[in-house]
Amino acid sequence: MALCLKQVFNKDKTFRPRKKFEPGTQRFELYKKAQASLKSGLDLKAVVQLPPGESINDWIAVHVVDFFNRINLIYGTMSEYCTERSCPIMSGGLKYEYRWQDDSKYKKPTKLSAPQYMCMLMDWIEMLINNEDIFPTRIGVPFPKQFQQVCTKILTRLFRVFVHVYIHHFDSIINMGAEAHVNTCYKHFYYFIREFSLIDHRELEPLKEMTERICH
* Burial of residue 124 (number of CB atoms within 10 Å: 0-12, 13-18, 19+): middle
Return the closest-CA partner of residue 158 out of 25, 16, 10, 11: 16
- Does 164 carry a binding-site annotation? yes
Q: What are phi and psi of 91, to 5 degrees?
A: -145, 170
Q: How far lies 201's CA from each of 100, 132, 194, 207, in Å?
A: 20, 30, 9, 11
- Does 82 carry a binding-site annotation? yes
For the chain, the straight-line distance linking the first and the last C-alpha, in angstroms and rounded, comes to: 24
- Pick out the residues of the known binding site for Zn(2+): 82, 87, 164, 169
- Pick out the residues of the known binding site: 82, 87, 164, 169
